[in-house]
């Protein structure tokens, strides 16, 4: 009986230890990547499904503006879009854009409600706990492929 109680306590403690060490809320750990004057940080894919929406911060460390001009990834069977969410006259709109400007000294955060990256009809779906390669092409800085951690998230 004591052994069963100790086993239950040990399993309970292990569960909470694993949850505290980065379970479902973990950002996955992404090392910054630099190409030309562009630095990419905080890249993550949360709750992957048929459509994938990578979040990242893209900083232009240069003295001249640059543009994100293309996004590609393996297994994308639909069109890759970069959308800009814009509040015009109190109404949210989704606008397709051909490129995303990044002013000198500025950081672009690709979370929803700003510019966002939409990879549509991705097959197979990126698996949680892996990385997913995405290639970004910039007008001046050039091209870079980054391996983005795929994580699950908990509803809060």
pLDDT per residue as tens digits for the range 88-139: 677 777 777 888 899 999 999 987 667 888 888 888 989 999 999 999 999 9
Cα 45–Cα 47–Cα 51 angle in degrees, nearest 5: 80
pLDDT per residue as tens digits for the range 14-26: 333 323 333 333 4
Select from 42, 45, 22, 41 the least CA-distant residue to 125.
Answer: 45
Residue ranges of domains in the chain, CATH in brackets: 28-151 (2.60.40.1890)
Select from 49, 82, 52, 48 the least CA-distant residue to 67.
Answer: 82
Contact yes or no for 92/83 (Cβ under 8 A): no
Give the global pTM.
0.75
Whole-angstrom Cα distance, residue 102 to residue 77? 28
């Amino acid at each position: 009986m004591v052994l069963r109680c100790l086993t239950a306590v040990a399993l309970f403690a292990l569960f909470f230890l694993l949850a505290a060490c980065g379970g479902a809320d973990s950002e996955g750990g992404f090392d910054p990547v630099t190409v030309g004057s562009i630095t990419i940080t905080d890249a993550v894919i949360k709750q992957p499904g048929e459509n994938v929406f990578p979040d990242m911060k893209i900083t232009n460390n240069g003295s001249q503006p640059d543009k994100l001009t293309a996004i590609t990834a393996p297994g994308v069977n639909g069109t890759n879009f970069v959308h800009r969410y814009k509040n015009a006259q109190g109404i949210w709109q989704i606008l397709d854009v051909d490129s995303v400007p990044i002013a000198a000294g500025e950081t672009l955060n690709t979370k929803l409600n700003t510019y966002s990256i939409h990879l549509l009809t991705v097959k197979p779906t990126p698996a949680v706990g892996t990385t997913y390669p995405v290639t970004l092409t910039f007008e001046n800085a050039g091209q870079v492929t980054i391996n983005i951690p795929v994580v699950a998230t908990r509803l809060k």
